[in-house]
Structure 1
Amino acid sequence: MSKRLEELEAALAKTQGTSSTRRPLLRDAGRQDPLAAISDLEARYEADLESVSENLGSLAIDLDGNLKYHGETAGAEYLQSLMPDGERKSRELGNPKCLGLPVEVLELVASFPFGPQTRIHSTALFDNFIPSGERAIQLADLYYANLAWMSAPIPRGDFERVIIKPVYQTPGGHASLSGLHAHDVSVFFMVLALGSLFDHSPSHELSAEQYNAFGRAAFALESIVRGATCATLQALFLIMYFSYYADRSENELSWVLMGVCAKASQMIGLQRDSAGCNLDREEVQRRRIIFWEFYSWDALTSVVNGRPPALNLAHADCRFPDDLDPFIKEDGSSELGFHAWTYRYSAACLSIAVQRAFAVRTPSYNSLLQLDKRIRTFPIPSHLQSPGQDASKFWNQDPTRAMQQYCVVNECEAILLYIHRSYFAQALRESEEPLRHKYSPSVTATYRGSLVLIATLKHLNSVHPKLSSCIWHFWSGFYSSCVLLGAIVVESPGSMLAQNALAELDSARIIYEEGSQLCRPPATMTMLNKLHVRAHASFEEYQTKLMNGETSRPPPMDGSPGAPDELDVVCGRTSMINNSASVGLRGSTAPSIHAGNAAFNPPDAAYGYTLADASQPVYQAMGAAEATPSLYLPGADDPATFALRPQDNPQFPSVGAAAPQLVQNEQEIWLKFMEGLGVSY
């Protein structure tokens, strides 16, 4: 072929009379540089990188080279851990050696989650640590009442049928674990551990940690590398859940375990619907529940942590499970229960939020507003609506049902805060009146969402203080809301929102201090107090200058030289370097390097799912709900005329022949956003 090509090139060159100079197209393909194509690809790839978001998130590096990264959607308390005083010590009871356990159990705990190479013990090792049947039921009741209302990888009926009965209803009448798979034993102990967290006995913390150690040890009896079952996934999820709730300093462990959960779920094919695999109906239902519990949790915690998720709906066709807890209305009709609603919300809204949050290509701002409207208009069953969404609603007298009502508010409003936050921060930095900035919709959404989260949790805590004070992720959204209100005052003290934001911050700080004592990281209160002082100082300085006839914007109130400013971390800045010492993962001190985000960059695609068929695969459930909730901004003189009109906004001049096309597009985006929220002017 090479010889033939040479003959053809020579003939063509002779015909064109250019035999002395070879034309570009007359190349010997057989002798072409094999690296040339790769070089072309590299050049094109480098060119594509110019469109990648500059949005890096926050990265801390200690003296030993350990790194900790949180992306731009991360909750404020996670970003606070990047500050020099943001670390905290782990609880002493978290060390299994302090629990008085047998050496054999400790060895198994040390080998969690992959277990020893060879099995050296049986489940009979734990028979001496089985509580009485009455005690086991009591702790299981506490778990299902206080924690399973949000995430329940093993329904109560399954737990009693698959685990409780085989353990306590034995032929000899003696409780035994010998008839259970090791991972079923792990589920048994983890349910007891989670229930013990809410027990009122003096030694409930010690009992919880002991059962947690037994759960990990039992899990290690059967190496996950050699095989997995549904019980494997249930046990892993409960172990992760315990780490998540027992101690906030173990967030990294919870994050890693969620990744192990995801890989193990893919090992047994949970992402693919198993209805056609000749499995019995109960097993199919069990697999669907576990997948959607995993996906919902993975998507939510990914946004809150600012890290990409482990599961992707593009790789799944798992149908929604049966609704095990539908709400029956007075007229006999039924509504989706909380878990069934959560699965659908995760598929329709969280899946898009996750795609947007971690996309590296710069998208349009309009697509963010489309997602905003989708979240706000996603249907919520009447029994899950709360006073924060409908003034005619009341908190359910059942504390767990009330927690589900607030959880709906939190999942919607907190996600909106996280996806709008970097745009909100950019508007504060670039405009004295952020409501007139081109990203004013994000300012509006962030301010409104912060007020809703604060007011709703305040009301819930006054009705059900016992349980709400223990659910730390509720207070996480509350804390982020306080930080964002403080940012308005510090960065834009002349904004028409500043005075009301400061008043809300004053009252919210007191509520946070009193209501979150049982579950907050200590550093968050320190940071909130500092922010409170700065906000008052900034507002008072601006008012003083205003009285003296000075209308220029005051300079930003930065922290001490060389140290990162709190708002720099929680709202996002670029190329920040922290030269002060911080505690590393191994106890060393080292400078932390932070890269802050400059703008939020979601992809353009947006998808939705109807609620018509509870069993349909998510890829067939396309559609969008239509609704127009009203918008009201406390602090604005008139919600209809508080300078949010395009004609009052210098970024949005009247549309006309002389208006630049970009400005016209921005005005169209603004009009569509306000129309979607039901605001007229």
Structure 2
Amino acid sequence: MSMTVPNAPEPATGEQGEMWRQRRPLACAECRRVRLRCDRKIPCSTCTKHGCPDLCPTGTLSPGQGSRIVLTDRSKLQDKVDAMRDRIAQLQHAVAILKDGPDAASPSSSSHYSGTTQSEADSQVQDTLKSQCGTLIDGDHSEFIGPHASSCFYISNTAVMPVRRWLDSEWSCLHEASNILPVRMRERNYKCFARYLPGLRGAQAIAKAYLDMSWMFGHAAASADEVSVLLQRVYDGWSGATSMSRLSQVKPHEVAQFLMVMAIGTTFGGEDVPPEVQAQSRTYYDLASLILSVDSVTAHPTIEGVRALLLMSWYISFFDDSISASSSYVLNGLQARLCYALGLHKDDSTWDLTDAERQVRRGLFWDVVCWDNWIAEAVGRPPTFSIFHLEAELPDDQDRVLDGNGKWHESYTMWVRGFTKRCLVKVTNQAFGTAKVSHGTVMQLDRMLREYPVSDILRLKNIGVPDANVPLVLAMQRTIVLLLTNKTLLLLHRTFFALAIMECPEDPLKSQYSQSVLAAFRSAIYITTSARALYEQHPTTIRLWFMWNATFMSTVIFSAIVIKCPESTLAPAAWQELDRVYTLFERLAPQSRSIARVLPNLTRMRNSAQAVRTDRPGAQRCDSMPPGESLDDLELAFMLGRARLVNEPGPAPVPLKRSRPPSPVHACSYDSDKDSDADSVMHEAGNLRQAWLDFTRQIAV
């Protein structure tokens, strides 16, 4: 609010005041402006009623547009400010008493808070809020209790309370016996698992195969040093019956983590691991699941347990199965709850942890968040983690690369974590949420994704051109960086791309959403060309399901352009790329069930696109179109993200048959000193209860 206040003389007294009163006008300046009668008092009743007594008699308010502007009394505002400042000081003093104890209630402390400046008060409030980050219970049973938890949680964890015996049966004595002699019980429990492991030399070969691919899973799951420690602990612990002290150091969750290293190593082992051992990767996965049940990961969450679950989620996703991604998504929910239980999502700088512990916690947490968002994008479901609950800092980049010019480059693992924290989490929570997103918001997120920096060592310069001089790992890292960015962009623009081709089928580039059309088409081209080039250079990448998932999603964009907008300038390039991907998928289908599963849909899309191109005026009739049904409009809309309800009858119930589990991995593949006719794990698990009963009876005697 602006006002015009002339330089008015101060009220005079005596003879000068009397002369001024005689010469003063019949009304004050404000009354003359609004043409109201003035009682010639200072201040007059009109100015007092309008809330501007300070302007009377010579000042005026700026004319308002349709409404009267009221000037609030400055002294009243100042009184309110002073009262609020005093109230803030009192609240800060009360917080200090709660934080520091009764000693903080001294008069000197009160005077200190009363004399605090506003900036110092804000700083103290921020420090106080920062300290209220919750409680972390460190130790064998680590647990995090948030600042908003019920008071009973704090009481139960700070006071020693008698435990009520819920089970009054023969199993209660087993529980007590396991607490008295945990080492002997653990040895008895592990015997049925130990015989299924390979020998030490075989385990080392499998671990090497795992480490060659560990960059993809994140080093926080199991680094080279941790794998070496696991090998030493597990095989020293099971080397003989006299190694009781070493056996007590092997935790069940560490064993589960080690078994998942074996499972992934046999899956990606290649030539270093024999085929008969590769077939046992699922056995290692099943054993890891059983061990996580021996020491329940939900009742006793640990860092090692979260690592094992992360590796299990990765392993499930690489199953050549239609439900692998969905199963991995469900398992991510359990990982997220355990991360919350351990406080991995909080800023750990306020806790008395070593730097190594902080790096482990941060790295593991962001690896879990990365994989959670990847799977959420793949299955089109909400991510488990919310952006409002993520407070953990990123770990240090311990794998950064120094080039010949003395310049440091960000590592692949650090780039993925940073991209997830600063971009992917925002997109999945904002653009893929329940609220409708405007096209302007989509373009802002698009700019954020494109402007996120990529180091030179991770940038794919010649997209679609194979480079034989680039190692396999670096080529895969560059391609995944490109895929992750462009797949997110494609999903971000897909809705407005569909609106554009429905709004302007003649030329979607004339639509108001033309930017989304170009962005989706460009991202689809980048995905398909880079995926084809990577496979031609390294055929082993056929197992990267997320790469082929993004490739198939890109073919939907191409087919939509060719079928719905055949006269568009983008149609020829879209058809050419669609045909190339179809040719590649047709060649790879016998080697991959995942590709074979989507090939019928891709064939129908190509048939429809080719039929549209053939029916165009002046186009030559093509008789070599492969047989098959064409794609209807509803299916194409469904692939573009439109709502659809599919009522599919369930399969007929199949009677369960009891079958003997697959034979264990015989150590003769590497070592010949192990029993080759050991009983199965399930058989041992079935007799475990009776064995424990016999064991406790011997102790009682």
TM range (shorter): 0.5 to 0.7
2:307 corresponds to:
234
The answer to whether the Cα contact below 8 Å between 2:613 and 2:619 also exists between their aligned partners in 1 is no
1:180 aligns with 2:253: no
Q: For residues 573 and 537 of structure 1, do their structure 2 counterparts lie closer, same or farther at Cα, with a shift above 3 Å needed? A: same
Cα offsets for 1:111-138 (capped at 9, x unmatched): xxxxxxx999633432222322221121
1:483 aligns with 2:556: yes
The answer to whether the Cα contact below 8 Å between 1:386 and 1:395 also exists between their aligned partners in 2 is no
Q: Separation in 1 of the partners of 2:593 and 2:398? A: 30
* Structure with the higher fraction of residues in helix conformation: 2
Aligned match for 2:333, one of 259, 268, 283: 259
Cα offsets for 1:607-633 (capped at 9, x unmatched): xxxxxxxxxxxxxxxxxxxxxxxxxxx
Q: Separation in 2 of the partners of 1:356 and 1:586? A: 42
1:248 deviation in Å? 3.1
Amino acid at match of 1:530: R
Cα offsets for 1:389-441 (capped at 9, x unmatched): 698x9576321221111110000011111111111111112212111111111
2:276 corresponds to:
203
Q: For residues 119 and 251 of structure 1, do their structure 2 counterparts lie closer, same or farther at Cα, with a shift above 3 Å needed? A: farther
Aligned match for 1:572, one of 636, 641, 646: 641
1:190 aligns with 2:260: yes
Cα offsets for 1:487-520 (capped at 9, x unmatched): 1111111211112211111112112333463362
1:52 corresponds to:
none
Q: For residues 171 and 566 of structure 1, do their structure 2 counterparts lie closer, same or farther at Cα, with a shift above 3 Å needed? A: closer
1:328 deviation in Å? 1.2
Q: For residues 527 and 351 of structure 1, do their structure 2 counterparts lie closer, same or farther at Cα, with a shift above 3 Å needed? A: same
The answer to whether the Cα contact below 8 Å between 2:263 and 2:284 also exists between their aligned partners in 1 is yes
Q: Separation in 1 of the partners of 2:252 and 2:342? A: 17
Aligned match for 2:412, one of 338, 351, 355: 338
1:282 deviation in Å? 2.3
Q: Separation in 1 of the partners of 2:564 and 2:558? A: 10
Q: Separation in 2 of the partners of 1:124 and 1:274? A: 39
Q: Separation in 2 of the partners of 1:328 and 1:263? A: 38
1:492 corresponds to:
565
The structure with more radius of gyration: 2
Task: Indicate the larger mover: 535-544 or 368-377.
Answer: 535-544
Q: How does 1:481-630 map to 2 (within 5 A)?
A: 481-515=554-588, 517-518=591-592, 520-543=594-617, 565-574=634-643, 576-578=644-646, 581=648, 583=650
1:162 deviation in Å? 3.7
Aligned match for 1:153, one of 220, 228, 233: 220
Q: How does 1:593-672 map to 2 (within 5 A)?
A: none
The answer to whether the Cα contact below 8 Å between 1:461 and 1:515 also exists between their aligned partners in 2 is no
Q: Separation in 1 of the partners of 2:206 and 2:562? A: 47
Cα offsets for 1:269-297 (capped at 9, x unmatched): 10013233222332221111110001111
Q: Separation in 1 of the partners of 2:335 and 2:248? A: 25
Aligned match for 2:295, one of 179, 199, 222: 222
1:134 corresponds to:
201
Q: Separation in 2 of the partners of 1:585 and 1:446? A: 41
The answer to whether the Cα contact below 8 Å between 2:207 and 2:227 also exists between their aligned partners in 1 is no
Cα offsets for 1:462-503 (capped at 9, x unmatched): 22222x111111111111111210111111112111122111
The answer to whether the Cα contact below 8 Å between 1:470 and 1:519 also exists between their aligned partners in 2 is no
1:283 corresponds to:
357
Q: What SS does the corresponding residue of 2:484 show, helix, strand or coil?
A: helix
Q: For residues 567 and 120 of structure 1, do their structure 2 counterparts lie closer, same or farther at Cα, with a shift above 3 Å needed? A: farther
The answer to whether the Cα contact below 8 Å between 1:461 and 1:469 also exists between their aligned partners in 2 is yes
Q: Separation in 2 of the partners of 1:463 and 1:236? A: 32
Q: Separation in 2 of the partners of 1:495 and 1:578? A: 32
Amino acid at match of 1:273: D
1:587 deviation in Å? 8.4
1:361 deviation in Å? 2.5
Q: For residues 570 and 585 of structure 1, do their structure 2 counterparts lie closer, same or farther at Cα, with a shift above 3 Å needed? A: farther
Q: Separation in 1 of the partners of 2:376 and 2:239? A: 48
Q: Separation in 2 of the partners of 1:396 and 1:138? A: 27
1:317 aligns with 2:386: no
1:617 corresponds to:
none
1:349 deviation in Å? 1.1
Q: Separation in 2 of the partners of 1:587 and 1:565? A: 33
TM, length-normalised to structure 2: 0.61
Q: Separation in 1 of the partners of 2:652 and 2:475? A: 38
Q: Separation in 2 of the partners of 1:395 and 1:347? A: 33
Q: For residues 500 and 587 of structure 1, do their structure 2 counterparts lie closer, same or farther at Cα, with a shift above 3 Å needed? A: farther
Q: What SS does the corresponding residue of 2:332 show, helix, strand or coil?
A: helix
1:166 aligns with 2:240: no
The answer to whether the Cα contact below 8 Å between 2:431 and 2:437 also exists between their aligned partners in 1 is no
Amino acid at match of 1:191: V
The answer to whether the Cα contact below 8 Å between 1:388 and 1:455 also exists between their aligned partners in 2 is no
1:227 deviation in Å? 1.6
Q: What SS does the corresponding residue of 1:572 show, helix, strand or coil?
A: coil
Q: What SS does the corresponding residue of 1:209 show, helix, strand or coil?
A: helix
Q: Separation in 2 of the partners of 1:388 and 1:453? A: 13
2:457 corresponds to:
383
Cα offsets for 1:154-196 (capped at 9, x unmatched): 2423423541221234596789865311111000001100111
Q: For residues 354 and 165 of structure 1, do their structure 2 counterparts lie closer, same or farther at Cα, with a shift above 3 Å needed? A: same
1:430 corresponds to:
503
Task: Indicate the larger mover: 501-510 or 279-288.
Answer: 279-288
1:298 deviation in Å? 1.1
Q: How does 1:74-153 map to 2 (within 5 A)?
A: 122-153=189-220
Higher RCO, 1 vs 2 (CA within 8 Å, ≥6 residues apart) = 1
Structure 1: runs of 5 or more not aligned: 1-117, 548-556, 589-681
Q: How does 1:66-81 map to 2 (within 5 A)?
A: none
Q: Separation in 2 of the partners of 1:506 and 1:582? A: 34
Q: For residues 159 and 519 of structure 1, do their structure 2 counterparts lie closer, same or farther at Cα, with a shift above 3 Å needed? A: farther
Q: For residues 571 and 390 of structure 1, do their structure 2 counterparts lie closer, same or farther at Cα, with a shift above 3 Å needed? A: closer
Q: Separation in 2 of the partners of 1:208 and 1:255? A: 21
The answer to whether the Cα contact below 8 Å between 1:388 and 1:452 also exists between their aligned partners in 2 is no
The answer to whether the Cα contact below 8 Å between 2:608 and 2:630 also exists between their aligned partners in 1 is no
The answer to whether the Cα contact below 8 Å between 2:332 and 2:372 also exists between their aligned partners in 1 is yes
Q: Separation in 2 of the partners of 1:206 and 1:288? A: 34
Structure 2: runs of 5 or more not aligned: 1-184, 622-628, 656-701
In angstroms, what is the RMSD of aligned CA positions? 2.9
1:399 corresponds to:
472
2:423 corresponds to:
349
Q: For residues 387 and 558 of structure 1, do their structure 2 counterparts lie closer, same or farther at Cα, with a shift above 3 Å needed? A: same
Q: How many percent of aligned residue pairs carry the same amino acid?
A: 26
The answer to whether the Cα contact below 8 Å between 2:607 and 2:630 also exists between their aligned partners in 1 is no
The answer to whether the Cα contact below 8 Å between 2:214 and 2:223 also exists between their aligned partners in 1 is no
Q: Separation in 1 of the partners of 2:468 and 2:480? A: 12
Amino acid at match of 1:434: P
Amino acid at match of 2:362: R
Q: For residues 567 and 269 of structure 1, do their structure 2 counterparts lie closer, same or farther at Cα, with a shift above 3 Å needed? A: same
The answer to whether the Cα contact below 8 Å between 1:388 and 1:409 also exists between their aligned partners in 2 is no
Q: Separation in 2 of the partners of 1:583 and 1:543? A: 46
Aligned match for 1:303, one of 377, 383, 386: 377
1:312 deviation in Å? 2.0
Q: Separation in 2 of the partners of 1:254 and 1:394? A: 33
TM, length-normalised to structure 1: 0.62
